[in-house]
Amino acid sequence: MYKRILLAYDGSAPGQQALLDCHEIAQWSHAELTLIAVMPLPLTTIGPESGVYSETLRESEKKRYQTILDAGVRRLADAGLSARGEVVIGDAVHEIVRYARAIEADLIVVGHKHLDGWAARWWRGSVSKALIEHAPCSVLVVITH
């Protein structure tokens, strides 16, 4: 039985489906829910192969991610579940694994959308695949097409 569920939430269609699945599991198991939104370190592009850190961009992006996260927490609250949320900054896999360890999560839930072309899959990589390799607990990958 799951006691603590961590949902990596980004507001996308796969994220919305993961939220719904997470909601059902949490109701069934009476688990504590935590949502995190992982924001990449914001860089302003200054050339084809370089960028510079921008504090202004960081603050506006953090507000955007917080808005998405708040909507997910509110949606769970409207369904009668208690959840908390936090925006974290960094590499998605590293931050999800770190946070799961910190809260001693029993389950990590992530959404995943199948990419059509091999080039898109190669270029973007798979957070869910890497997460499975590094997670300290079970991982539920909710797939949308």
CATH code for the part of the protein at 4-96+113-144: 3.40.50.620
Per-residue pLDDT of the chain (145 residues; tens, 9 = 90+): 899 999 988 877 778 778 777 778 888 888 899 999 998 876 555 555 555 666 788 888 899 989 989 988 998 888 888 899 999 999 989 999 999 999 999 999 988 766 555 444 444 567 788 899 999 999 988 887 6
Task: Tell me phi and psi for residue 48, to 5 degrees.
Answer: -65, -25
| Closest C-alpha to 110, from 34, 26, 3, 22 | 22
Coil, strand or helix at 115: coil
Candidates 10, 11, 36, 27; CA nearest to 108 is: 36
Give the pairing of strands 4-8 and 138-144: unpaired
All structural domains of the chain with their residue ranges: 4-96+113-144
